[in-house]
A and B are shown apart, each in its own frame.
Chain A
Amino acid sequence: MELGFSFWITLLFIAIMMGVLQGTCAYLILAERKISAWAQDRLGPNRVGPWGLLQPIADGIKFLLKEDIIPNHVDKLFYLLAPCITVGTALLAFAVVPFGPTTPPPVLVDYRQNPPQTAWPQTIEEEKAILDADHKHAEQTNDKTYEEKLKEYNDTIQFVIAPHVDIGIVFNFAIGSLAVYGVLLGGWSSNDKYSMLGGLRSSAQLISYEIPMGLSVLGVLAVTGSLNLETIIDYQVKHGWNVLYQPLAALLFITSVFAECNRLPFDLPEAEQELVGGYHTEYSAMKFALFFLGEYTHMITTSFLVAIMFFGGWQLLPGIAMPDGVGGAILKLIVFAIKMALFIIFFMLIRWTLPRFRFDQLMGLSWKVLLPLALVNVVCVIVIKQLHLSDWLLLPLSIATLFIVAGFALYMPQQRPRAPVRVAGHVASGLPAVLHDEAVID
């Protein structure tokens, strides 16, 4: 089989996307600061350039020119490796994420069987036999052969760095979860307790939230029948957005993504008030900037993923046919970019809406709430698929699941941690407030 991609076009894409990503990251920091300011009735950075638009450039120059401090007490190798891993994995994860118009890759069908099935040839002979059958079928039906379809697919520009990766979403998760090494190594090699705590929290958090995230996506995959992100978009274009079928899965996925990106309300690894800077306390200058870059790249990737998995990718609205051709491609690019931007703005607004979780609450949310919900969701999808029922049944099922779990949480007899509380009427006036240990909040 020939290469599934054109080398030069891919190189071009990589170059463009690296530039665009880093520029976007820089301006995302500005956007973050601006939105933070607006949410707090402030103006935000407005000194460098008009409306502070040159601020990211000033920041970048500052990061580059700052003294690069490596403290004496760090483990140098891992200390330097950590930011590289963070940025590297974030960029690598982006390789399979479509960011513009794509078409689904052709599927090799085995026409020797009745009814025809998707083929997974194990040997060259078997592949040959299947292709022969495919040729015959093409002649009979006047359709294109698989090879012709594949050539056509490869000749079309796919707006994804590595097209035709059948394990797209799995690759994404695999690489994405490597990011925890960056955080963990950064925290450990810094050899200071705040960094260490940040790193430990981070590893626990990332591992915990990957489970509900993966499970929530499982439902989507079962419905679309593919791990390939281009195919998933194509499925949604044809059948309607996944968020309409599985709002619960979408909710779980978005929540988990917040935790994966270390965004508030789940930013415990770098909780400034508790841990100074968390795992990057000891980092300065460009190494610190690399952590930032990785974090924001991660945010962009996950925003794209949310759009792809649940919100129809480059489709403007469900049920609307997007035009083809160059104009259509540009339109799709813009739609995709807008969706991504909306999710990022949502990320930033949530930051100023919800307070940070306590660590036990964070873990509780993941293991006691998100995980069961995701499991129930997967079971629902599997049952419906198995019984060949309408996908639309999933919508009421999702909502019902949500309410049932909420009701369960509400009426389940609870063992709450004993917290001190002041009992009314027991304290003489004029005395300072006394805490009575025996009372329990309820």
Chain B
Amino acid sequence: MPIAENEVKWVTVPKAGLLEQLYLPAIFQGLQTTVRHATKTLFGGGAVTQQFPEVEPKLPPNYRGVHRLNRDEQGRVKCVACYMCSTACPAHCIDIVAAPSPWPDREKYPETFVIDELRCIYCGMCEQACPVDAIELTTLYDLSGFSREALMFDKEKLLSVFDETVKAGTDPIRTRSGRLSVASELPADTGLTSSSSAQS
């Protein structure tokens, strides 16, 4: 979105005076600010640093960390292997192999589901693309491993992330779609109105 023209405030560059042309007062003013901050941090404890390993950071709930695969009420993987996440993924880090599902209530499920956490850019587009709210990004941020392979998270690992985060209570399921899925849903407030576009 470009800035609307009426929001732009136009100012003219002020003419410098003789004193300002020396630049020295401005330099001293700047120095003053630097010194003020330095002394305040040094003596007044104004540092914003978080002592990370000792103090856990407080992250907003929409923080985009490690992925998880959600489970449904029966504990099965919610994912239906539709490839929407891997299609939306700008980093091409999601690899899915689909298969006919072993359960009667759905047709397709992921036989394998691998996310390359090293390749991922944590943009959250997979979460937006998911039509069944199966993939979510959690607030887990301290991800590390000893090999590249260790950070290729497979289905079991991603499900265990779900188990862990749900048990810890840090990441409630945050996306939820309606009865018919998003595409066919009428916005709740408009109610059932007949088509008017054809007559217009």
Contacts and interface: CB of A to CB of B under 8 A. Distances in A.
- The answer to whether A and B touch in the complex, with CB atoms under 8 Å apart, is yes
Interface of A: 35, 37-43, 251, 349-350, 352-354, 402-403, 406-407, 409-410, 424, 427-433, 441-442
Given A43-B47, A407-B21, A38 B13 contact: no
B3 interface: yes
B5 to A, nearest CB: 4
Interface of B: 2-6, 8, 10, 13, 16, 18, 21-22, 24, 27, 30-31, 33-35, 37-42, 46-49
Given A39-B34, A406-B22, A433-B3, A424 B10 contact: yes
B38 A35 contact: yes
A433 B34 contact: no
A263 to B, nearest CB: 14
Given A349-B35, A429-B5, A441-B13, A38 B22 contact: no
B2 A38 contact: no
12 contacts: A35-B38, A37-B49, A38-B38, A38-B39, A41-B41, A41-B46, A41-B47, A41-B48, A42-B48, A349-B34, A353-B30, A403-B18
A410 B41 contact: no
Contact of A354 (B2, B4, B16, B30): B30
A38 B41 contact: yes
A353 B33 contact: yes
Nearest to B17: A410
Contacts of A39: 34, 37-38, 41
A406 B46 contact: no
B13 A37 contact: no
B49 A403 contact: no
Contacts of A350: 27, 31
Contacts of B5: 427-429
Contacts of A431: 2
Nearest to A425: B5
Nearest to A406: B21
Nearest to B3: A433
B46 to A, nearest CB: 6
Nearest to A408: B21
B182 to A, nearest CB: 29
Give 7 nearest A-B pairs by CB, closest first: A38-B38, A353-B30, A406-B21, A429-B5, A38-B41, A43-B49, A432-B2
Given A35-B38, A353-B34, A42 B49 contact: yes
A362 to B, nearest CB: 14
Contact of A41 (B22, B30, B37): B37
Contacts of A409: 21
Contacts of A352: 34
Contacts of B8: 424
A349 B38 contact: yes
B153 to A, nearest CB: 31
A316 to B, nearest CB: 23
Contact of A349 (B22, B31, B42): B31
